[in-house]
Amino acid sequence: MNIIAANAVPASDNDPKTLQIANDAELAEIAAGGALQGVERVELTFPKFTDGRAFSQAVLLRRRYGFTGDIRATGDVLIDQLVQMARSGFTSAVLAEGQNLAAAERQFARYNAFYQGDALQPRPLFARDSAREAA
Protein backbone atom coordinates (compact mmCIF):
# COMPACT_ATOMS: atom_id res chain seq x y z
CA MET A 1 0.00 0.00 0.00
CA ASN A 2 1.22 3.47 -0.85
CA ILE A 3 1.00 5.56 2.34
CA ILE A 4 1.07 9.33 1.91
CA ALA A 5 1.66 11.93 4.61
CA ALA A 6 -1.13 14.50 5.04
CA ASN A 7 1.09 17.39 4.02
CA ALA A 8 2.43 15.64 0.90
CA VAL A 9 -0.79 15.90 -1.16
CA PRO A 10 -1.78 19.10 -2.96
CA ALA A 11 -5.06 20.54 -1.65
CA SER A 12 -6.61 20.90 -5.11
CA ASP A 13 -6.00 17.77 -7.16
CA ASN A 14 -8.34 18.17 -10.15
CA ASP A 15 -7.06 15.29 -12.24
CA PRO A 16 -9.76 14.26 -14.75
CA LYS A 17 -8.78 10.60 -14.28
CA THR A 18 -9.59 10.80 -10.55
CA LEU A 19 -13.10 10.26 -9.24
CA GLN A 20 -13.99 11.38 -5.72
CA ILE A 21 -16.90 9.43 -4.25
CA ALA A 22 -18.72 10.50 -1.10
CA ASN A 23 -19.17 7.78 1.50
CA ASP A 24 -22.97 7.95 1.16
CA ALA A 25 -22.98 7.68 -2.65
CA GLU A 26 -24.74 4.79 -4.35
CA LEU A 27 -22.06 2.89 -6.28
CA ALA A 28 -24.59 1.05 -8.44
CA GLU A 29 -25.78 4.36 -9.91
CA ILE A 30 -22.21 5.59 -10.43
CA ALA A 31 -21.16 2.38 -12.18
CA ALA A 32 -24.35 2.19 -14.27
CA GLY A 33 -23.82 5.78 -15.41
CA GLY A 34 -20.38 4.90 -16.76
CA ALA A 35 -18.55 7.25 -14.40
CA LEU A 36 -15.83 4.63 -13.79
CA GLN A 37 -14.83 4.53 -17.48
CA GLY A 38 -11.35 5.98 -17.97
CA VAL A 39 -10.86 6.56 -14.24
CA GLU A 40 -7.43 5.61 -12.91
CA ARG A 41 -7.97 6.54 -9.25
CA VAL A 42 -11.03 6.57 -7.02
CA GLU A 43 -10.83 8.54 -3.79
CA LEU A 44 -13.05 7.34 -0.95
CA THR A 45 -13.50 9.57 2.08
CA PHE A 46 -13.50 8.71 5.76
CA PRO A 47 -15.19 11.78 7.32
CA LYS A 48 -14.34 10.39 10.77
CA PHE A 49 -12.50 7.23 11.76
CA THR A 50 -15.67 5.61 13.14
CA ASP A 51 -17.44 5.78 9.75
CA GLY A 52 -16.52 2.61 7.85
CA ARG A 53 -18.73 2.92 4.77
CA ALA A 54 -15.70 3.52 2.55
CA PHE A 55 -14.45 0.00 3.44
CA SER A 56 -17.61 -1.45 1.90
CA GLN A 57 -17.31 0.84 -1.11
CA ALA A 58 -13.75 -0.35 -1.76
CA VAL A 59 -14.77 -4.01 -1.61
CA LEU A 60 -17.69 -3.35 -3.98
CA LEU A 61 -15.50 -1.45 -6.42
CA ARG A 62 -13.04 -4.35 -6.59
CA ARG A 63 -15.38 -7.34 -6.53
CA ARG A 64 -18.68 -6.23 -8.03
CA TYR A 65 -17.59 -3.49 -10.42
CA GLY A 66 -14.15 -4.84 -11.35
CA PHE A 67 -12.25 -1.60 -10.76
CA THR A 68 -8.52 -2.28 -11.11
CA GLY A 69 -7.07 1.20 -10.61
CA ASP A 70 -5.89 2.95 -7.48
CA ILE A 71 -8.40 3.24 -4.64
CA ARG A 72 -7.22 5.95 -2.25
CA ALA A 73 -8.43 6.52 1.30
CA THR A 74 -8.70 10.17 2.31
CA GLY A 75 -10.03 12.04 5.31
CA ASP A 76 -9.65 10.85 8.90
CA VAL A 77 -7.30 7.95 8.07
CA LEU A 78 -5.57 6.53 11.14
CA ILE A 79 -2.61 4.16 11.29
CA ASP A 80 -4.54 1.28 12.84
CA GLN A 81 -6.96 1.21 9.87
CA LEU A 82 -4.34 0.72 7.17
CA VAL A 83 -4.03 -3.08 7.16
CA GLN A 84 -7.80 -3.51 6.95
CA MET A 85 -7.90 -0.88 4.21
CA ALA A 86 -5.39 -2.87 2.16
CA ARG A 87 -7.41 -6.05 2.70
CA SER A 88 -10.56 -4.21 1.58
CA GLY A 89 -9.02 -3.15 -1.73
CA PHE A 90 -7.41 0.21 -1.03
CA THR A 91 -4.03 0.67 -2.71
CA SER A 92 -3.11 4.07 -1.27
CA ALA A 93 -4.02 6.19 1.74
CA VAL A 94 -3.47 9.79 2.78
CA LEU A 95 -2.90 9.87 6.54
CA ALA A 96 -4.79 12.30 8.76
CA GLU A 97 -2.87 15.21 10.26
CA GLY A 98 -0.64 14.15 13.15
CA GLN A 99 -0.19 10.53 12.03
CA ASN A 100 3.39 9.23 11.86
CA LEU A 101 4.36 7.95 8.40
CA ALA A 102 7.10 5.62 9.69
CA ALA A 103 4.75 4.07 12.25
CA ALA A 104 2.14 3.61 9.53
CA GLU A 105 4.57 1.70 7.32
CA ARG A 106 5.53 -0.59 10.23
CA GLN A 107 1.92 -1.81 10.45
CA PHE A 108 2.44 -3.99 7.39
CA ALA A 109 5.52 -5.70 8.84
CA ARG A 110 3.42 -6.95 11.78
CA TYR A 111 1.10 -9.07 9.67
CA ASN A 112 2.66 -10.95 6.78
CA ALA A 113 -0.25 -13.32 6.01
CA PHE A 114 -3.95 -13.80 6.72
CA TYR A 115 -5.96 -16.99 6.87
CA GLN A 116 -9.10 -15.49 5.32
CA GLY A 117 -9.39 -14.25 1.77
CA ASP A 118 -9.89 -10.56 1.08
CA ALA A 119 -10.68 -8.15 -1.75
CA LEU A 120 -7.28 -8.53 -3.37
CA GLN A 121 -6.72 -12.26 -2.66
CA PRO A 122 -10.15 -13.90 -2.44
CA ARG A 123 -8.86 -17.44 -1.80
CA PRO A 124 -8.22 -18.38 1.84
CA LEU A 125 -4.74 -19.42 2.91
CA PHE A 126 -5.46 -23.17 2.85
CA ALA A 127 -6.59 -22.94 -0.79
CA ARG A 128 -3.49 -20.98 -1.75
CA ASP A 129 -1.23 -23.50 0.04
CA SER A 130 -2.87 -26.52 -1.58
CA ALA A 131 -2.59 -24.92 -5.02
CA ARG A 132 1.17 -24.48 -4.48
CA GLU A 133 1.54 -28.09 -3.37
CA ALA A 134 -0.31 -29.35 -6.46
CA ALA A 135 1.96 -27.37 -8.80
**Alpha carbons 64 and 26: distance in angstroms, whole number:** 13
Q: What is the mean pLDDT of each run of 10 residues along the chain (135 residues)?
A: 87 76 93 91 95 95 94 96 94 95 90 81 82 57
DSSP-derived pairing of the beta strands 18-21 and 2-4: unpaired
**DSSP one-letter code for 84:** H
Domain layout of the chain by residue ranges: 2-134
**Alpha carbons 91 and 3: distance in angstroms, whole number:** 9
Give the per-residue pLDDT at 90. Answer: 97
Please name the residues in contact with 51: beta carbons below 8 A apart, sequence gap of 6 or more.
23
* Fold (CATH) for 2-134: Rossmann fold (3.40.50)
Give the per-residue pLDDT at 66. Answer: 93
Give the per-residue pLDDT at 26. Answer: 92
